Structures are given as C-alpha cells and as structure tokens.
Structure 1
C-alpha cells in the first residue's frame, strides 16, 4: 500500500477541485466515488495479499515468470532486437507517488534469474463501474493488436485477472481496454476537448480499443502504444471486465450486449512518472499541446494509490524506450459483481452512434440507440 506524505496528500486534496478533464467528465465526483468504494470495501476485495501463498503453492507465480520471460524473448525476436540485451528498467514501487521508480535491477542481463525480474507482482483492484471514466465504447472487436495506424512507443501488456473471493485465476473473462493516443485523443467519440470536435469521422474510429478473453490462467495480452496524456488526468489505461456468464461471442468477432453491457468491475492502470517523462520526450508525444498532469497531481490516482498499487511493472525491450516496453500487472476483481454500464457511444455495424444519455460523451454527431442506424443484435459487421 502506498503511503502519501502529508504535504503531498494536501496537494492532492486541493487539486481534487479540478472539475473536468473532458466535458461531461467530473474528475472530482469520480475521485469521490472511487474513494468511497475503496474505503468501504473489506480487505479481501481490496487486496490480493490473502492470495499470495495460495497462488505460489499452486505454481502460478512460476508460470507467470516463464510466460513473461518467453513473451519478451518472442517480442524481441519479432522486432529484430537483441535477445541478450539488458533489461534497462523494472519498476520497484516506492512509498510516494512523486518518487522516481528507477529499479534497483537496472542493468541486469540474461544471466539474472527471471524469477527476480518477472516474479514481482503489482496488484490492482478495479474500481467501481461508476468510475468508468470518459469515452467507453461498446461493440469493439475481439483482438490483441489494437494499434491500427497510431504511432508511438510500442507497448505490450500482460494482464492477469484473479478472483479476490477464491484466489483463483479467472478464465474466459472478456476484458476491454481503451486509452488515448500519443497526443491525447480517444477514438470512437466526437466531443469538445477530444481532438478536433468538428471531425464526425472520429465516431467511426476504433484505434487503441479492443477486447480479449482471458486464457486458462486468467491472462489477457494486448499490443498497443504507450498512452499519451490529456489535460486534468495522469497518463492511464482504462480496463473493464465483463460480467461472468453474461458474455458470449458473435460471429462478427464482437461480444453480446451492445446496449445492455454489464461489468464485473472497471478501473485504470498507471505508469511510473519517470517512464512517462521518458516517453513524453519522444515524437509524437512531444507534439502534444495539452497540459501534462503528473501522477502526484492526479486526484483519482491518489485515491487508488492510498489503498492499492495500480502501477504496471515494466521493462524496456531494447536499448532505448523507442524499442518498446513490456508491462505486466495482476488485477483482482470481485467476480460476483454485476453492474450496468453507460457507454459514451456504441460501435454498430453501420459505424459509431453517440449515446445521448451518457454523461461521458459530449459533442455532436450520431443518434441514439433506437435509431435506424443502430443494430442491437450485432455490434458491427464482420467486414468492418
């Protein structure tokens, strides 16, 4: 658990008055909801500490080490990088949000025991679904590679889903992720504060969004780019898990529930500030004109980090951050949760449709789910 210094905590309280990162997105309200959830939840729902010995005894930790080590080797080979290259960084969370997390493992080589590197477990508890944040879009494709034509630092993610009630990995859990591009723009929505608000074609865009089912060990893997930033929020990735036993796959590689989607939990994943700063110095991140909010100045992150550890572990894949990043985290969820979702938009077989009832949308374009352009039976056509 991260303990904030009193001075830092006071600063975060003051910054909680920032009311809107995106129009319709009340950061102060979101932080309050998250705080209430985390502080009212029992320890079992907020921590994986009670699961550590069980997971180790079941051999899950050793399998995690082997899977992550193999993934890094395969990615390096595919990208033409040195397979015996150094792991330049691996996160070692300190006690304060504004502390640099340069690893004491910096400079390890292939002779280093992989269990030292890949056995470290960052654990995150997904917050309540009222904090789904801006611009969630239903109807996205089941796919591992969500990059499309977006440019940025390659990011490969290994996310493991654990049931906090049973300490078991959760197989076949459909997990949605979405985040903004290198210059702070989300696909799938047309709204002021999100790129060119006059560009209605962004409703039909799908970059940096996707869904994956977890495997037998509760693992989903995504290929993306490192997220950029937008005014009012620290750099983050949104994660949403769909309710158990309420999700099935359609022939067009989407899941059911375009207009009736439920979640078992939703939250956000974060990165070390020193890593963010390194990425932000590269193009096209350096062209982003929006104000950068640091981890220490993000009121929503402060609520999470005061109770759990929502930061991803990571290593560089090559000699420079531009070669790519491999990041991992274990996420604990309460699989018995079943909550309604209010998306900002729906991606239908005829393209994007704005949800007029959403407080997370904003801007123009599109008609409601009852319009003739919507197709509730099938998220989108298989050719889309």
Structure 2
C-alpha cells in the first residue's frame, strides 16, 4: 500500500532571536522582541492564508499528494489559531481503516488541516557540525523505524525551496546522542561514542522542496520530552567527502510527537530499558515555547505502517521558511576526518568538517542520566 499528501502541517519560522538552550538555562525576551514577534506572527498568518490558496492553484498540493501516496495516507488542513492546549489535545494520527491503495484523492484529503507557526527554535548543546549527506541514518540502532517526510516552502513566494539542506538529529531509544561524550549523555566511559554518527544526517531537497530520512523514533532523557532537532541550510558548498560547508542557516527548531504515541513507544524494548522519568509534552519548556500564544503545531502528523509499532511509522511536516532569516547555531562538537572533536563555537566554518566514511565505532548505548541536553 502507498500513500499521499497535500499542503499539510505548515511550520512557519519567524525572524526572532535564536535561543541556544543548555540544561538549566532560561533567557528572557525583552519587550521589543515580544512586540516584534507578535507583529511577525500576524504578518505570517496572513501570508499563510495567501499560500494556502496558491498551493491549490499552482499544482503544489497535487504533487505533494502524489508523492506521499507512495508512502501512505495524509490529509489536508486549513489555518487555525492554536495554543499549547490545542496542540496537546489534538491527535496527529491519520487512521482510517477504509483507506486502500485504490481510495480516491478526494476521499483521502477530505479532512481539515493545520498550518504551524514556530516563532523560535532552540539548537540545544549537542549540534555536531560536519555530518554526512545521507538518507538512512539508523546505523543498526534498535527502535521503532520512522520514514520522516519534510517539505520546505518559501513563506514569501509560497514556492518550494529546492536545494535546501535539511540537517536532522535526535537521541537513540535509550536517550543517548551520538558524536559526543558528556555528562548526562549515556556512559561517559564510552569514549567511542565521540566518533559515532547514528541518527544524524543531512539531505538536499528536490524540486518540490522535499526530503526524506529513514530514522528511528527518539527516546527520552531527563528534563525533555521526545523530539527531533532540525536545521535548514541554504546556499551551501558540498565537499568531496560528502559533507557541507558555508552558506547560511534559515531555520533552527525542534519537532515533536503525540503524547499517547510516545507512551506506546516507550512501553516497547529498548525504550523501556531507560528508567529516567519521562517528561511529557505538557511539561516540556521547549514544547510550550513553540506552541504558546501562536498558531504553532510543531507535532508531526503520522500514520502507522502496519499493525504493530515494530512495522514503523510515516511522519510528515511542511516547513515554511523565511529565506532571508539567518541564524548562527552554536555547536559543541565537530565530526572531522579524524573523528569527533569537542570544539564549541558559533556558525563559522573554519573547522575541518566531514569524514570520508559514514561509520562510527561507538554504540552510545545505555540510558542517559540526569541533566541531559536540550
């Protein structure tokens, strides 16, 4: 069975100051920044309404539906004002037992839709520069497989963004990030994890602004709900070692899953081996920041690919990017030709990025302890 999509969850990014989140750190917004954010949110809402109409007339939706039908089933939505409670109360599961490979497009997409407004994003302390361009980032890690379908559009022109490089990373089933050794990130005695690359990768969008990853459902660690980290790069240079350098960053953010799905996944092995207390979406500061007082719904829509979670999930989201925005994401580690190196810094590219191989020796196994990253 194969599936489709149209203009669905639209994640709009605002040009407000970027927050780099480290454990225990909280930054306050000044009054001017708050006013700027509210003004941009209203402007963005009007822009999204314009884009929704244009997507219907320029064939954008039709192409998206045809593409995602080959993966599974998706549905159409309309812009609505949301707040954190609205997002928490909404199920993002697309579940219709009457849907088959022969179901008409009208039936598949005869449901309402939501555009997503994401006013700011947080990098977290464990962004690793120099990751490899690749679509399958699982590297043999155990967990619930995910087909991650993301689509990027220009919020000003409502057109897909071609040749954008989508950078994604998340922890493994027991709450451990690859590419680093740090307190709160699994077994600090496992120095091989510094050279590991699991669940990190970069992909270039096609002519419809689309990119897909084969990844795994993230686990959890202390103080944070389940999430993926995402960065959008523009105008980069691709190096001979299959990595990127230069260009600009137009978006940094985090994406989430429904809480009931998280509980279901966490009840399975190896997720259940992690005894760290689960932080829910409702109690997660970043989730609240990205949904409160806006039209934001940064939760992936999804469909189950089989009768059991082990069969995997298809998750999708559409991200509307302000291509004139430019952020400078800090990083804690760099993946170099010699392996991982601890080298915190800003967004400069005066480092030896990349590696000639796609394998990392570290497993990064074991549940994370208290004080994990953001």
TM-score, with length taken from structure 2? 0.78
> 1:39 Cα shift?
3.6
Give 1:354's match in structure 2, choosing from 323, 342, 361: 342
Question: What does residue 275 of structure 2 align with?
Answer: 289
Separation (CA, whole Å) in 2 of partners of 1:199 and 1:164: 44
1:201-246 alpha-carbon deviations (Å, 9 max, x no partner) = 211110000000100000010000111111111111011001x32x
Q: 1:254 to 1:116 in 2, by over 3 A?
A: farther
Residue of structure 2 in register with 1:311 after alignment: 299
Structure 2: runs of 5 or more not aligned: 1-20, 360-374
**Cα deviation, residue 356, structure 1:** 4.1
Q: 1:272 aligns with which of 241, 258, 274?
A: 258
Q: Which moved more, 1:99-108 or 1:172-181?
A: 99-108
Q: Which residue of 1 aligns with 2:164?
A: 173
Alpha-carbon deviation of 1:198? Answer: 2.5
Q: Does 1:379 align with 2:354?
A: yes
Q: How many residues align?
A: 327
Measure, in 2, the Cα distance between the counterparts of 1:353 and 1:40. Answer: 41
Within 5 A, what are the aligned runs for 1:1-384? Answer: 24-26=22-24, 28-29=26-27, 36=34, 38-39=37-38, 41-45=40-44, 48-72=48-72, 96-99=86-89, 101=91, 105-110=95-100, 111-114=102-105, 116-117=107-108, 121-125=113-117, 127-128=119-120, 131-242=122-233, 244-245=234-235, 247-257=236-246, 262-306=248-292, 307=294, 308-357=296-345, 376-382=351-357
Contact 2:175 2:185 in 1 (8 A): yes
SS state at 1:344 partner: strand
My pick for the range that moved more, 40-49 or 144-153, is 40-49
Q: What's the C-alpha RMSD, in Å, of the aligned pairs?
A: 3.2
Q: Deviations over 1:132-159 (max 9, x none)?
A: 1231001000000000021101100110
How far apart in 1 are the matches of 2:30 and 2:287? 11
SS in 2 for 1:55: helix
Cα distance per residue 1:245-276 (max 9 Å; x no partner): 2x01111110114xxx7411111111111111
Contact 1:98 1:296 in 2 (8 A): yes
Query: What is the rounded CA distance, in whole Å, between the counterparts of 2:263 and 2:104 in structure 1?
Result: 29
CA distance in 2, matches of 1:284, 1:32: 43
CA contact (8 A) 1:177 1:209 kept: yes
Please give the alpha-carbon distance, in whole angstroms, between the structure 1 residues aligned to 2:28 and 2:315: 26
Distance 1:174 1:230, change over 3 A: same
How many Å apart are 1:71 and its aligned residue? 2.4
SS in structure 2 at match of 1:196: coil
- Name the SS of the counterpart of 1:339 in structure 2: coil
Residues 146 and 103 of structure 1, relative CA distance in 2, 3 Å threshold: closer
SS at match of 1:28: coil
* Bigger helix fraction: 1
Structure 2 CA distance, aligned partners of 1:63 and 1:317? Answer: 22
Judged with a 3 Å threshold, the aligned counterparts in structure 2 of structure 1 residues 208 and 117 are, in CA distance, closer, same or farther, namely farther
| Separation in structure 2 between the aligned mates of residue 30 and residue 56 of structure 1, nearest angstrom | 40
Q: CA deviation at 1:289?
A: 1.3
Secondary structure in structure 1 of the residue aligned to 2:70: helix
Distance 1:345 1:102, change over 3 A: closer
The CA distance in 2 between the partners of 1:104 and 1:345, in whole Å, is: 38
What's the TM-score once normalised by structure 1's chain length?
0.76
Contact 1:140 1:211 in 2 (8 A): yes
**Structure 1: runs of 5 or more not aligned:** 1-21, 73-86, 359-368
- Alpha carbons 1:126, 1:268 under 8 Å: kept: no
1:341 shift after superposition: 2.1
Matches of 2:220 and 2:65, distance apart in 1: 31
